[in-house]
Amino acid sequence: MSQTKKRIPGNGGSEELTVRLPAEIADRLRAFCREKNIPPDLVVERALLDYFREGDVSH
């Protein structure tokens, strides 16, 4: 029997995940976020959504 996770109100369906990035990419992400005044987690979330939406994730 399959189980479904209950959605926690106010959570927005998000799950916390820690990702290790190379120093150069982390520095570029921080600089971009500082310049655009947006949180890094939002940038990463949108980038991953776009990446997986493309359909071909074999690379």
Residue 59 lies in a domain: no
- The residue segments making up the domain with residue 46 are 23-53
Residue 43 lies in a domain: yes
Residue 6 lies in a domain: no
Distance of CA 9 to the CA centre of its chain: 20
Structural contact between residues 32 and 42, judged by C-beta atoms closer than 8 angstroms: no
Residue 38 lies in a domain: yes
| Candidate ranges 11-15, 27-31, 44-48, 53-57; pick with highest mean pLDDT | 27-31
Strands (DSSP E) along the chain, which ranges?
none
Residue 35 lies in a domain: yes
Give 4-40 pLDDT, tens digit per residue: 444 445 556 778 889 899 999 999 999 999 999 999 9
Of 35, 20, 29, which is closest to residue 47 (Cα–Cα)?
29
d(CA 52, CA 28): 22
User: How many domains are contained in the chain?
Assistant: 1
Per-residue pLDDT at 40:
95
Residue 33 lies in a domain: yes
